[in-house]
Amino acid sequence: MSELSKDQFKIIGYKEENINKIERPTISYWQDAWRRLKKNPIAMMSIVVLGLLVVLIIVGPYIQNYDYITMNVAKKNQGPTGANWFGTDNLGRDLFARTWVGARASILIAILATGIKLLFGVAYGAAMAHFGGWVDELLMRIIEVINSIPSLLLTILIMMVLGNSFPALLVALSITSWCNTARQVRGMIKQLRESEYIYAAEVLGAGPLRIIFKHYIPNMIGILILDASTAIPSFIFTEAGLSFLGIGLKSPDISLGVLISLGQQSMDFYPYQLLFPCLILCVIVMAFNLLGDGLRDALDPKLRR
Amino acid sequence: MGKYLLRRVLEMVLTLFLIATATFFLLEAVPGDPLAERADKMAPEIRANLYAKYGLDKPMLERYVITMKGICMGDFGESFVYAGQTVQSLIKTRLPVSARLGLQQVILGVGVGLLLGILAAMKRGSVWDYLVIALSVLMISIPHLIFGLLLQRFFAGSLQWFPTIGWPEGSDLWLGGWEYTVLPTLTGCFTYIATYARLLKTSMLDVIGQDYVLTAESKGLSQGRIVRKHILRNSFIPIITQLPMSIAMCITGSFFIESIFSIPGIGQYYVLAVNNQDLSIIMGETVILAAMYIIVLFITDLLYVVVDPRITLTGESK
């Protein structure tokens, strides 16, 4: 057996300077999530539908240049035609324009209420986790008391006190919903604070701001996005329900709930007046729900197979 | 155990007290005079009598004490809008109506939901599985408000198979007048079907992967026996503990369904009272509904222990 010497070998296929190069691009959490979401046809379809809906609630009322409040007595209760795509209501107002203006109000309320829920919930949860001790105990008790009332009752009571207006509805919807977010955030921060990599970061001399922005927020944002994606459809539904019962917004303010409630009054003779707002509401809620399911699969590393 | 129960009951009473207090002061802040409409055309002395009868001539704190005392004695006061109507009489006549609606929904919804859940879990990956999942997504996405309205429009309106509104009364209160109850029950039960089908499927899939199921299979037990004795039993824990919450959901769910179908239950009356600004009824009903809700939450906590011996009440040992 002869000795093997270095000059018997020849380097082929790669250059010396490329030894430490990483061949595949590094994928960040968000790129990875987006890649997974793109593979999910249902979620992508929901995004397209939601994009379409956003365009329609912005420009929908102007497509045919009908105003949502201009009445036209000559065109009362007409079914869907080329001139009025969704027909007209009992005062001759164009339902296509009204539906999109109503959907605009519904979605706006849902998004704003979700924003309030997240902001307040995160602040509250962070305060609970940060202070601990009796502050934590007290804040937790407050959540428990709020959670022990059926939330619809509290919402209705708040609406009674504040009256049927847009800001009142926002307050009433968000008054109970932040509790879950706060609990989740409290739990997550407590868990993160005990984890080794946060210790490591502290030992390496990272300041609190760096830890918050580099570790806490990236770790929590996925869960918060999921929270938002389930909250939006439920707010839309609650708003519609309250307005239907006459406790939310009231005509002449319009939202999908108001339109549905007006539609019910004339549904025996003019079913399309009920059908179109219902259909749009279902499409919105379903798109958000399906997108939420897709996001859950994409964002939550624990669910990955 | 006894100590824990005592503490929980005390906490429940305290919570209920806080809720009643908060409701009282919230209702105090409602703008307007609840008796204005009734007292509109009355002579001044009759008007003064009317206000005295409802205690509205007294200062707020005194009325608070009177109201709270009344609640402790089980007396919730008289309606501001309909003379002679009290919360107690209301509950007596209307609670059975809501209870029947709720029971029918839960029995039908949970029953069908569980069957679909078993089907989806046992035939995993088959057409049945996807069908059940698609159906439950659809059922969750269609708000029951809309579902109720559409059912009402087509089955009662166009096809005239069922009456549009109403509810059996008198001797038919519990067992009779089924045609009135079909649409409201269907409306309410779809949420339960979707929830329970999904819940049982997830839970069963968890259990199917466990080692003891493999053991049971390798012992040579029949498929039916494994499903009944090993899989179903263990996957029922989340179902049992979800059940009380579903019953609690009936309470607020009934607001919509009873309003759509004009069913004379407690939910519809609550909405009516809110629209009429009937403050005493709202106060009484809020306290009663909250009490029911709190008791249901308490039962849920107890059920956790009963169905799963691994959980202890005090939470000291795991």
- pLDDT over 90 for what percent of chain A? 3
Q: For residue B254, is pLDDT > 70?
A: yes
Whether residues B290 and A286 touch (CB distance < 8 A) is answered with: no
Which residues face B78 on adjacent strands? Answer: B86
Query: Of A156, A246, A274, which is closest to B149 when you measure between CB atoms?
Result: A274
Min Cα–Cα distance to chain A from B220, Å: 30
Any idea which of A186-200, B39-53, B89-103 has the lowest mean pLDDT?
A: B39-53
Q: What are the angstrom distances between the C-alpha of A242 and each of A105, A112, A157, B247?
A: 14, 17, 12, 21
Query: Of A150, A264, A268, which is closest to B293 when you measure between CB atoms?
Result: A150
Min Cα–Cα distance to chain B from A27, Å: 31
User: Domain residue spans in chain A?
Assistant: 35-303
Cβ pairs A/B, distance under 8 A: 107
B251 neighbourhood in chain A, CB within 8 Å: 150
Query: Of B15, B30, B290, which is closest to A160 when you measure between CB atoms?
Result: B30
Q: For residue A305, is pLDDT > 50?
A: no
Helix (H, G, I), strand (E, B) or coil at B86: strand
At A208-236, the pLDDT tens digits run 888 888 888 878 887 888 888 888 888 88
**Spelled out in words, what is the top-level CATH class assigned to the domain A35-303?**
mainly alpha
Q: For residue B316, is pLDDT > 50?
A: no
Report the alpha-carbon distance of residue B23 to residue A144 in Å, rounded. 16
Crossing angle for the helix pair B279-307 and B87-122, to the nearest 10 degrees: 40
A268 inside 8 A of chain B by CB: yes
B15 neighbourhood in chain A, CB within 8 Å: 144-145, 148
With contact defined as beta carbons under 8 Å apart, do A299 and A33 qualify?
Answer: yes
Q: Which two tokens stand for residue B185?
A: 């029950």
CA B110 to chain centre: 14
Whether residue A252 is preceded by a cis peptide bond, meaning omega within 30 degrees of 0, is yes
Give the alpha-carbon dihedral of B174, B175, B177, B180, to 10 degrees. Answer: 60
- B86-96 residues labelled b (16+ CB within 10 A) or e (exposed): bbeebbeebee
When pLDDT is cut at 50, 70 and 90, the band that residue B208 belongs to is confident
- Test the B interface: residue of A244, A258, A267, A288 with most B CBs within 10 Å: A244
A148 neighbourhood in chain B, CB within 8 Å: 15, 19, 290, 293-294, 297
A244 inside 8 A of chain B by CB: yes
A271 neighbourhood in chain B, CB within 8 Å: 153, 157
Tokens 């829920």 -> residue: A117
| Chain A 130-189, residues with CB within 8 Å of chain B CB atoms | 144-145, 148-153, 156-158, 160-161, 163
At A66-120, the pLDDT tens digits run 676 666 666 666 766 666 667 677 666 777 778 888 888 888 889 999 999 999 9
Whether residues B290 and A161 touch (CB distance < 8 A) is answered with: no
A285 neighbourhood in chain B, CB within 8 Å: 141-143
Report the 10 Å Cβ neighbour count for A246: 18
Residue of A nearest to B23 (CA): A157
Whether residues B149 and A267 touch (CB distance < 8 A) is answered with: yes
What pLDDT sits at residue A112? 92
Task: Tell me the torsion sign for CA atoms A293, A294, A296, A297.
Answer: positive
Residue of A nearest to B155 (CA): A268
- ipTM for the predicted complex: 0.78
A274 neighbourhood in chain B, CB within 8 Å: 149, 153
Question: What is the pTM assigned to this prediction?
Answer: 0.80
Min Cα–Cα distance to chain A from B299, Å: 13
